[in-house]
Structure 1
Amino acid sequence: MRASPLLVFIVGIAAGALGYATVDRLQAPPPADLEMVKATDIAFSGVSETAGVKEAFTRYAMENVVFLPSGGHPITGRDALAASFNDFPAGAKLTWVPAGGGISHANDLAYTWGHFINTFAEGDPHYGKYLTIWRRQADGSWRVEADTGNASPAPAAP
């Protein structure tokens, strides 16, 4: 029994479509998008350094942000997160540098991770590591969807 030409054609189209979809999903996201997320993370840190951590999270966090503080209860919502920084010590500065990250194949979610330093007007600085989850907005910008961090030892001397 021979297959009809129409059946061969339909099977060929279906196989090609499945192959295209599989190849498309396996392609790595464009590196420029991850670099944009890292640049946004660096700008976020810059606002924290110059205008304060409360202002930085107010500008960069989504309205429904989730913050998971080390040793504390989750904080949900931009307003609640901003209020949590009301007791941040005067003169303290929180800055960070991304060390790595990744981005979804759909280019709508990303994460950055890195190291932070919290310096105070008096006393020793505190060091730590962080993980931030980013969501792309309709205008193409990136906002913080979730954030967490915890303490680390001081960096080794060079």
Structure 2
Amino acid sequence: MHPTHLPLRLATGAFILNSGISKLGADEGTAQYLHGAAASAYPALFKDMEPTKFAKLLAYSEISVGAALLAPMVPSTVAGAALTGFGSSLLGMYFRTPSMTLDDGIRPSQEGIAVAKDAWLVGGGLTLLTQGLLGAAKSGVKSGVKSSKKAVRKATPGKR
């Protein structure tokens, strides 16, 4: 993990992990609310799922994303992809729920403000993902240059 990723990974990872842990013991009303929001946004995926099972699935998903962000051995590309996917699913729910946006379909209504802020999760995830990919590409170029230099030295004995 690059040291500059630490603040982003700690802040978002701790928040998402805590959110997931708190949903593990969701009561029936909370489970129905969570399921209702997800089922209306993604009916093909969640319409037929029991609310309590959905709440557990959501809890375990959040715990997984939060733990991936907090674990230093998880590469930034993997943690960033998980965060981007998670944040994108929340923004998908935001854009698919008419009561969450104003008439223009973009700006948040009072009800949508809590979900609209999840755009930061997508931004953070994309930052980790692209920096991880660019870092891997850069190190690949460096190792390729080193290999090329070694090959040139072997091909031209006596010159160093």
Q: TM-score, normalised by structure 2?
A: 0.31
Q: TM-score, normalised by structure 1?
A: 0.31
Higher helix share: 2
